Amino acid sequence: MIRKEGAKILVPTFFICFLLLVFSLRPGWGVLWILFCCAFGFFLFSLWFFRDPNRLIPDNPNAIVCPADGKVISIKEIEDAFVGKCTRIAIFMSVVSVHVNRVPISGVVKNVEYIHGKFLSAFRPETSLENEQNAISIENERLKIKVVQIAGIVARRIISYVVVGDELKRGERFGMIQFGSRVEVFVPPTVRICVKSGEKVTSGETIIGEIL
> Catalytic amino acids?
181
Asked whether the beta carbons of 178 and 198 are under 8 A apart, the reply is no
Q: What are 51's strand-pairing partners?
A: 2
As a dihedral over the C-alpha atoms of residue 99, residue 89, residue 206, residue 146, rounded to 10 degrees, the angle is: -70
DSSP 81: T
Closest CA to 9 of 156, 188, 149: 156
In angstroms, rounded to a whole number, what is the distance separating the alpha carbons of residues 99 and 133? Answer: 15
**Is there a cis peptide before residue 45, judged by omega within 30 degrees of 0?**
no
Q: Which stretch of DSSP H or E encloses residue 77?
A: strand 70-80
Query: What is the Cα Rg of the chain in Å?
Result: 20
In angstroms, rounded to a whole number, what is the distance separating the alpha carbons of residues 150 and 155? Answer: 9
Closest CA to 129 of 93, 85, 88, 83: 88
In angstroms, rounded to a whole number, what is the distance separating the alpha carbons of residues 45 and 99? Answer: 13
